[in-house]
Amino acid sequence: MKREEKEIAIKLRNEGKTFNEILEVVKVGKGTLSVWLKNVPIFKSYKAEYERKVSFPCRMAADAMRNKWEKKRLEEDLNYNPPLNDPFFMLGLGIYMGEGSKFSPSLTSLSNSDPEIIKIFKKWIEKYFWEKNFYWRASVHIYDELNIEKDVKWWSEIIGLSISNFIKTQIGVSSSSKRKRNTLIHGTLKIDLRGKDCWKVIVKIKKSIKSVNHFDLPVA
């Protein structure tokens, strides 16, 4: 009986049937079926049909998730009105447009060697976008291993961020910073906004940047 069931299972597999479809016909355990079909290839003539059956639910789930997030981002965009008449808001937006991350759909971050730029960015986020679940993560990029603790402590104190918020220090010289090595004595700092719903911030920032193009700035 088992031999006959195995032959039927192999035949169905060769026809491009999925495990669940085979189990509806051959009443054995999934573990047994896996052993039987371990080395059974799907015939090319049925492979496209098999892949359609397996991948279609995955694509549907992925599309549903993508549509869900697009809807949430759109709602956040429509409900946000950036304070373009606020000089400090515009200062922070300009700094972000020049130095902030541009590629992540959810992560808001900025890298710079100037602590004053970092402090303005940090204050800008906390003033206009902060929520109770947000927190900061920071990492220092330095050019040798001699002063890791010293440099992390320096950045911690000067921007007012606890050392516990710092993650692994990066060591090495980027090609764009080689000529600045002697002037960037404490390296550069990357600061990231983290926490539940922090994706909302990047949506608001992008809305603000788009809004600037339609905003009548005062003429000096």
pLDDT higher than 60, residue 181: no
pLDDT higher than 60, residue 173: no
The pLDDT, as a whole number, for residue 44 is: 57
Are residues 55 and 63 in contact, defined by beta-carbon separation less than 8 angstroms?
Answer: no
Poorest-confidence range of 59-73, 102-116, 156-170?
59-73
The pLDDT, as a whole number, for residue 183 is: 53
pLDDT higher than 90, residue 27: no
**What number of other Cβ atoms are within 10 A of residue 159's Cβ?**
19
The pLDDT, as a whole number, for residue 94 is: 95
Most confident range, picked from 65-79, 166-180, 204-218: 65-79
Q: Which helix (H) or strand (E) holds 45?
A: helix 44-78
Q: What is the tens place of the pLDDT at every residue in 83-103?
A: 999 999 999 999 999 999 888
Domains of the chain: 2-76 (no CATH), 84-212 (3.30.1330)
Q: How confident is the model at residue 191 (pLDDT cuts 50, 70, 90)?
A: very high
Q: Give the C-alpha distances (Å, rounded to integers) separating 46 from 6, 51, 118, 123.
A: 19, 9, 58, 60
Query: How far apart are alpha carbons 8 and 4 in whole angstroms?
Result: 6
